[in-house]
């Protein structure tokens, strides 16, 4: 089938593009390369360099490519930047999402897959592991804008009979994760340690996250092509991992013996985050397969080969 992936030069999106192509689908990519990398682009996919906030340009690409499925992964994903620049965050994650939704509706795409955030949408004070029916209480503009995107997908489903699956990702990690941005603590720690530098843990190291390997996320996106219509599904492991445990796992994989630097906690950071993936298993037949320590070793080797030397 013909699939259009927004954000297809990014960490998660490019891995999804590769798998869709390997499975025999035809793929087009929209990415403005603001955070995505040209080196991540698969040469077998058609590429359109533009921002999803440019509604006319997005529609023109959709009318040219005529996708059957739209995988919407383009986003402003920096929590810190969302707090500092809420309007920019909303323009990308809300207005941009509407541009993609409208273009897909105009060309009668048969389905959308929307990447949301299992950590940022829920906030603190929810049961752990968190089920999909927990009341969202975002602590950042990023979480609020991602949840707003979900609301629009549900609205389009009701008003226009648009088919969609919303995937709420836990903290995704693995090869191609950017070690120079705000997100992606595994890649950030690995890159610094490989350079002999001590990474910083913000807080005492007891904050928790649910880490899901990018290959498992890709598999969820494959299954969602034909399953999960009208569903909002957590894609995670159901396991809490502390910042200190991440540090220790990366240090072991690198062979780094220095302790971390402990800094002040940051505004907008969630204390504890862990999603319940049981609904995804029931609906998609999906469950995580990659052990965290194995995934960390793969991530470290990728960083070793691509960033050092």
Residues with catalytic annotation? Answer: 142
Contact (Cβ atoms closer than 8 angstroms) between residue 175 and residue 218:
no
Smallest CA-to-CA distance from 230 within 152, 153, 284 is with 153
Give the number of other CB atoms < 10 A from CB of residue 309.
6
Cβ distance 121 to 147 under 8 Å? Answer: yes
Give the phi and the psi of residue 242 in degrees, each rounded to 5.
Answer: -80, 160
Phi, psi of 281 (to 5 degrees): -65, -40
Would you state the structure tokens that stand for residue 107, as one six-digit string?
């060309």
> Of 225, 4, 181, 195, which Cα lies nearest the Cα of 81?
181
Q: How far apart are CA 133 and CA 131, in angstroms?
A: 6
* Tokens 């040219």 sit on residue: 64
Is 179 within 8 Å of 303 (Cβ atoms)? Answer: yes
269: helix, coil or strand?
Answer: coil
Strand partners for 31: 49
With CA atoms as reference, report the closest residue to 200 among 144, 264, 295.
Answer: 264
Is-contact 6 71, C-beta < 8 A?
yes
Locate all alpha helices (DSSP H) within the chain, ordered by sequence: 11-22, 55-65, 79-84, 86-90, 96-106, 141-160, 185-194, 214-223, 243-254, 278-284, 292-307
Count of Cβ atoms closer than 10 Å to residue 196 Cβ: 10
């Amino acid at each position: 089938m013909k699939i259009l992936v927004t954000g297809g030069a990014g960490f998660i999106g490019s891995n999804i593009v590769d798998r869709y192509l390997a499975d025999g689908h035809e793929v087009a990519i929209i990415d403005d390369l603001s955070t995505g990398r040209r080196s991540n682009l698969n040469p077998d996919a058609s590429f359109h360099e533009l921002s999803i906030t440019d509604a006319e340009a997005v529609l023109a690409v959709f009318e040219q490519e005529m996708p059957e499925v739209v995988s919407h992964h383009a986003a402003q994903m920096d929590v810190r930047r969302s707090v500092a620049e809420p309007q920019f965050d909303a323009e990308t994650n809300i207005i941009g999402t509407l541009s993609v939704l409208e273009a897909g509706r105009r060309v009668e795409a048969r389905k959308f897959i929307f990447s949301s955030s299992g950590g940022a949408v829920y906030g603190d004070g929810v049961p752990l592991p968190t089920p999909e029916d927990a009341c969202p209480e975002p602590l950042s503009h990023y979480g609020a804008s991602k949840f707003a995107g979900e609301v629009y997908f549900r609205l389009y489903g009701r008003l226009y009979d648009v088919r969609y699956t919303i995937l709420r990702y836990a903290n995704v990690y693995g090869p191609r994760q950017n070690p120079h941005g705000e997100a992606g603590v595994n890649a950030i720690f690995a890159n610094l340690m490989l350079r002999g530098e001590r990474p910083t843990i913000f807080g005492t190291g007891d904050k928790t996250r649910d880490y899901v390997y990018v290959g498992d996320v890709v598999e969820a996106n494959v299954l969602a092509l034909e399953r999960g219509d009208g569903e909002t599904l957590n894609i995670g492991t159901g396991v809490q991992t502390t910042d200190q445990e991440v540090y220790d796992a990366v240090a072991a994989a690198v062979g780094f013996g220095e302790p971390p630097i402990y800094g002040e906690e940051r505004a907008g950071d969630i204390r504890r985050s862990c999603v319940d993936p049981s609904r995804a298993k029931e609906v998609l037949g999906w469950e995580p397969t990659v052990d965290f320590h194995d995934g960390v070793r793969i991530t470290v080797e990728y960083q070793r080969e691509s960033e050092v030397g």
